[in-house]
Structure 1
Amino acid sequence: MIIKFPVIKRLLVVGATAFMLHLIWEYAQCGYFFDMEDSFEHQILMITATLGDMNMAIFLYIILSASNKSFYWIDKGMSISDVIITAFYSLFMSFYFETRALIEERWTYSEQMPLIHGTNIGVLPVIQLLILFPLGFYLTKYLISKWK
C-alpha cells in the first residue's frame, strides 16, 4: 500500500513555498519599481501582498486539483491544461489586483516600471505570477517527493 503525502501537508508546502518565493520577489522589485517610503506601513504592505500571493497560489492549487480530479495531480507534474489554466489565472489575478491597488492608491509605480502597452499595469507584477506560480508548484513537487 502506498501512503500518500496528506492533502493538508501539500497545501502547507504550497503555501510556504509560495510565501518564500513571493516575499523574495516583492522585496527585490519594490525599492526600484515602486514609489514607497521605507516605513512600518511599507513593511506591512509587503507582508500583506505576499500573503495575498500565497493565498492565490493555494487557491490555484485547489482549482488545478478540481480540474485534475485529484489533490495528488502535482506528483505527475503540470500538464498542458494545467499550464494554460495557470496562465489565465495569473493574468486575471495580476490585472485585477494591480488595477485595484492603483485605484485605491495603495502604491504607485516609479518611472522605471515598464507598463503593459495601453494600460497602467506594470509588467513585473504580471510576470511575477506567470513565473512564480509554476515555479512554486515545481518546488512543491520536488519537496513532496523528498519527504515521502
Structure 2
Amino acid sequence: MTTVRPPVKRILARTSSVAFGLNFAWEMLQMPLFQGMNWSPGSWALCAAASLGDAAFSAAAYGALAWAHRDAWWVCRRDGLDVVLIFVGGLLAAVVGEWVSHALGWWSYSPLMPRVPGLGVGVVPFVQLALLTVVTFELLRASGGCRPHTKPEPMDGE
C-alpha cells in the first residue's frame, strides 16, 4: 500500500514565514513599550529574534494539531476547539516567554506598557502570540491551500 506523503515541511515553512512576517511587524510597532528599543540595528535584531521564536511556536502548534488530527491540512477543517487550543496555548507560551526573557534580562518594559494583573507580563506581548497564531492559520486557510470536498491527507506512516 502506497502512503501519501503530504507536503508537511512545505506547510510548516509557509506557517513559519507568515508567522514571522506578522510577528516582526507587531514587534516593531510595540517597540515604544519596551525600555531602550529604538530604530537601531540592535533593536531590529532583537525584534527579529523574538519573531523567530514566535514563528517557531506557530510551526510547532501547526505540527501538533496536524499530528492530533492525523491530517496535514487540518487547518482547512479546523473547528472552534482548535481555535481555543491555539489561543490558550499562545497565551501560556507568551507568559512563559515573557517571564524567561525578563529573568534573562533580554528586555524590560517601559512605563507605557500595560500589565496583566497577577501575571506581571505586558498586555501587548501577552495577546500577540495567541492572536497572531490564529491569524497566521486563517491566512493559510485563505491562501488557496484548502480545496473543497477533499479527503484528509494521511500523515506519514499511515
Confirm or deny a common fold (TM above 0.5).
yes
Task: Kindly indicate whether the alpha-carbon contact (under 8 Å) linking 2:73 and 2:146 is maintained by their aligned counterparts in 1.
Answer: no
Q: Which residue of 2 aligns with 1:133?
A: 133
**Which residue of structure 2 lines up, in the alignment, with residue 93 of structure 1?**
93
For the aligned residues, what is the CA RMSD? 2.0
For normalisation by structure 1, the TM-score amounts to 0.88
Could you list the runs of 5+ residues in structure 2 that have no partner in the other structure? 148-158
Distance 1:135 1:102 in 2: 26
Aligned letter for 1:66? W
SS at match of 2:30: helix
Paired residue type of 1:19: F
The answer on whether the counterparts of 2:15 and 2:140 sit within 8 Å (CA) in structure 1 is yes
Q: CA offsets, 1:26-62, max 9 Å, x none?
A: 00111x2001243433222111101110010000001
The structure whose residues are more often helix, as a share, is: 1
Task: Work out whether 1:119 is the aligned partner of 2:116.
Answer: no
Residue 55 (structure 1) aligned with residue 56 (structure 2): yes
Where do residues 67-106 of structure 1 align in structure 2 (5 Å cutoff)? 67-76=68-77, 78-106=78-106
Instruction: Indicate if the aligned counterparts of 1:5 and 1:144 stay in contact, CA closer than 8 A.
Output: no
Larger Rg: 2
Q: Is the 8 A contact 1:10 1:144 kept in 2?
A: no
8 A contact 1:11–1:58 mirrored in 2: yes
Look up the equivalent residue of 2:36 and give its one-letter code. Answer: M
Q: How many residues align?
A: 143
Return the letter of the residue paired with 1:124: V
Q: 1:54 to 1:129 in 2, by over 3 A?
A: same
Report if the CA contact (8 A) 2:33-2:111 is conserved: yes
What is the rounded CA distance, in whole Å, between the counterparts of 1:57 and 1:137 in structure 2?
A: 9
Show structure 1 runs of 5+ residues with no match.
none
TM-score (norm 2): 0.82
Distance (whole Å) between structure 2 residues aligned to residue 136 and residue 81 of structure 1: 17
Identity percentage over the alignment?
A: 26
